[in-house]
Chains A and B, each alone.
Chain A
Amino acid sequence: MKNFSYRFGVIRGLGVTLSHFFQTYITDIKKGRKHYGTVEGIEDRRQADTDGIFTIQYPEERLPLPEEFRVLPFLVYDDGENGEKILRCTACGICAKVCPPQCIWINRAADPVTGKPSPHPADFNIDMDICMNCGFCAEYCPFDAIKMDHDFELSSLDRGETHLYNLEKLMKSATYYASIHPTAAALEDAARAEKAKPKA
């Protein structure tokens, strides 16, 4: 065994911890009450020059979610004039084909008169236990119909068929989409308006 004096190593190590400990008080006194529980306080604790307490007191405090954050897909519908929900989905099946774990099942609707396939989903199922949150479906959807959600607090008391989301459970309004993805929604709306113009 080498003849090292371990005392100083231990003391210095404890010193590091202690300095971290006291730093939290110094920062707290400097920043005052607004350092906790407020949006500015949380933002301040995430900056590169932060010191003192680093953690966020979830669930009382929440980290702001970036716009690109992605958990579980949902289907976007537009509100019609009479309050009906118009799904953007055309049941083209690209999301089902590109899905890496193959967790999307789409049943394309048929025209009741002719029996020919019509561009609407009769049924749309996503198994949320299988979904790996990769975001491919949203990325490759040509109609901006399927998008990634921000709601990550998904615990439930039982697993199984409650995690198999059907069309009804998947539908969320375009207003909701615009509220969680403001920049992307504005860009897409502009692009769609541009596309619709020459036709009109």
Chain B
Amino acid sequence: MTEEMLINPIEKLTEQFPADWLKADERSGYSGYIVQREHLLEFARTMRDDYGFDYLSMVTAADYLEEGFFEVVYYAYKTIGGPALVYKVQIPRTDAVVPSLIGLYPGADFQEREVWDLLGIRFDGHPDLRRILMWEGFEGHPLRKDWKEPFFEEDVKPYKSRWPEGKPVFIDKENPFDDNVQYPEGFDPDHWTPDQDTLLYAGLVKKASNEEFKTDQLVVNMGPQHPSTHGVFRMVVSLEGETIIDLKPVMGYLHRNHEKIAERNTFLQNMPFTDRLDYITSMSNNFAYALAVEKLMGVQVPERADYIRVMMAELTRIMNHYFATGFLLNDLGAYFTPSLYSIEERELILDIFEEVSGSRMMCNYFRFGGVVRDVSDHILKKIHDLVYDRLPRKLESLDAYLTNNEILRSRCEGVGVLTAEQAIALSAAGPILRASGVPYDVRRADPYSIYDRFDFDVVTGNHGDIYDRYLVRVEEIRQSIRIIKQVLRDIPAGPIMTGKPPYQVRVPAGESYGRVEGPKGEMGFYIVSNGKPNPARYHVRAPTFINLTSLAPMSRGEKVADVVVILGAIDIVLGEVDR
């Protein structure tokens, strides 16, 4: 890697490669490079090794039905910071195969499986290309534009049957018994045994059984109904004694095809749906989605609205980290008392959210070009009291009791270790990545909104174990408090919205990716618009979904009781993992 490449990397990329390898994407509103399928692996390797794009943040695909091709989209970043390298592969719909990047970036694992599951694009060389979100017997690939769901009404909302001659249709009456799923041909649900489970068990790492003690490997299913899994989530664990040899997460029990719903919705209608992704941190989700659409629309956000957005996002971070810390103790066996103590602070923050947005968790507070309503002085006073008095005080007591607690330390230190190289390769994000010692924070690496105005530290750990993740979270609460203090000092008066918002926004054709540093990691929305009122493609880069890729590498060799804590330290929310 030469110094010049580090500074000025992707300006003249087409000159660096043979002419038939890639071309710049020149469609209006698009950016990046279109790489030939045959040269994808070679190109990605060069970009990773010679140009330093070591962090593959997002893999997704879009179906261009009218043009007749699929487009697989890759967003790669440098962990030292800077803008994205976007490259795409266009493949005909009839021959939907791309080489898998899993060898270069193991973090592409779940994302490629998701693309296969939802769009039916096969990744050549992927070792475990099974469905991930849909159930095993599902037929078809739902995100293809020509796939229609049961009770399909129209391609896009608003549905014409609602107005002016709306007659209520009661869906329960429409539903013939159990007939709202599409089964494959010749499928008999009564006599079906899930082959995929056999496949799943077969995919677990085997170890020779111990002849001397006549031990054998044991496969244990933790979940889907298990108090430790933070929702409906299943871990297939293969054990020798109590030591974990291999682990495979199974998810999708809460899958509702958020992205298909979103492609039927108009741009504005998606805003309340984003609340329901990671329902602990709805403000951050709103933020990322608003950024993505605003980037396409080219709207400027008023100064005051920007400050309010940052304030809300940071309050969300504080709330989430309190929650995560409390439930980490829950997973360690200190049932509910400590987590309820930490929820007290969350409660006070939720009161503020309820007052500004009208709802405690489903905030739906952001709009394109601002926020819904102004924050009154009364609420600013409340936030002031919280960040100057209560939160620092309570944080100190949390720190005093927990940080040097012997039980916490002996259970967490050296458990679930992820090295910096592993964390980057596995596309881990947020506190997981930073606890491994990678100072990568979107707020600093690629500042959005007005984060470049604030003083704060990017918190990192040294060891990449659960204890460091805990420490990173506690320290991030302190940094968030610091940011909010600056917001309260600087917040200007003025409008909170550019103009009166229309109920149908006009979004020019093009693609955009809006990302924020959410409390759980990089929260991003990839949006393709074709100039119509509805997004042509809407993809969520869900931080905890991708962080789960690192669950297996972290758990191997640990005890089965520690897996619960390792999962707790990833801090998953199934609403977002399963979408």
Partner of A9, one of B171, B338, B408: B408
**Does A91 count as interface, using CB distance less than 8 angstroms?**
yes
Partner of B348, one of A13, A20, A48: A48
**Does A132 count as interface, using CB distance less than 8 angstroms?**
yes
Chain B 263-293 interface 0/1 with A at a Cβ cutoff of 8 Å (1 = within)? 0011011111100000000000000000000
Partner of A98, one of B268, B359, B390: B268
| Cα–Cα distance between A161 and B268 once the two chains are bound (Å) | 29
Which of A28-36, A66-74, A75-83, A168-176 lines the interface with chain B?
A: A66-74
| Cα–Cα distance between A189 and B83 once the two chains are bound (Å) | 49
Residues of chain B within 8 A (CB-CB) of A123 are: 166
**Does B167 count as interface, using CB distance less than 8 angstroms?**
yes
Residues A6-53 near B (CB distance < 8 A): 6, 8-10, 12-13, 16-17, 20, 46-49
| Cα–Cα distance between A15 and B295 once the two chains are bound (Å) | 52
| Cα–Cα distance between A91 and B405 once the two chains are bound (Å) | 63
Whether B164 lies near A107 (C-beta < 8 A) is: yes
Whether B503 lies near A94 (C-beta < 8 A) is: yes
User: Known: A96-B162, A105-B162. Is A66-B389 also a contact (CB below 8 A)?
Assistant: no
Whether A66 lies near B355 (C-beta < 8 A) is: yes
Residues A107-155 near B (CB distance < 8 A): 107-108, 117, 123, 125, 127, 130, 132-136, 139-140, 148
Residues of chain A within 8 A (CB-CB) of B157 are: 100, 102
| Cα–Cα distance between A178 and B405 once the two chains are bound (Å) | 54
Whether A96 lies near B503 (C-beta < 8 A) is: no
User: Known: A16-B401, A164-B170. Is A68-B356 also a contact (CB below 8 A)?
Assistant: yes
Whether B166 lies near A125 (C-beta < 8 A) is: yes
| Count of A-B residue pairs with CB < 8 Å | 140
Classify the interface of chain B: helix, strand, loop or mixed. Answer: helix
Size category, B interface: 35 or more
Whether B164 lies near A9 (C-beta < 8 A) is: no
Residues of chain A within 8 A (CB-CB) of B226 are: none
| Cα–Cα distance between A108 and B164 once the two chains are bound (Å) | 5
- Distance in angstroms from B241 CB to nearest chain A CB is 15
Whether A134 lies near B166 (C-beta < 8 A) is: no
**Does A106 count as interface, using CB distance less than 8 angstroms?**
yes
Residues of chain B within 8 A (CB-CB) of A99 are: 158, 162, 269
Whether B172 lies near A160 (C-beta < 8 A) is: yes
| Cα–Cα distance between A80 and B359 once the two chains are bound (Å) | 33
Residues of chain A within 8 A (CB-CB) of B42 are: none
Whether B386 lies near A48 (C-beta < 8 A) is: yes
| Cα–Cα distance between A104 and B372 once the two chains are bound (Å) | 22
Residues of chain A within 8 A (CB-CB) of B355 are: 66, 68
Partner of B385, one of A8, A48, A91, A102: A48
Whether B165 lies near A98 (C-beta < 8 A) is: no
Whether B406 lies near A5 (C-beta < 8 A) is: yes
User: Known: A68-B355, A68-B357, A139-B372. Is A17-B337 also a contact (CB below 8 A)?
Assistant: yes
Chain B, residue nearest A93 (CB): B163
Residues of chain B within 8 A (CB-CB) of A54 are: 344, 347
| Cα–Cα distance between A1 and B170 once the two chains are bound (Å) | 61
Whether B166 lies near A127 (C-beta < 8 A) is: no
11 example contacts (A-B, Cβ-Cβ < 8 A) are as follows A46-B351, A96-B166, A99-B162, A104-B166, A105-B162, A105-B167, A123-B166, A132-B272, A135-B364, A160-B170, A164-B168
Which 5 A/B pairs are nearest by Cβ-Cβ distance?
Answer: A105-B166, A93-B163, A134-B272, A48-B385, A68-B358
Other 6 A-B pairs with CB < 8 A, given A12-B401, A105-B162: A9-B407, A69-B358, A100-B269, A123-B166, A130-B171, A134-B272
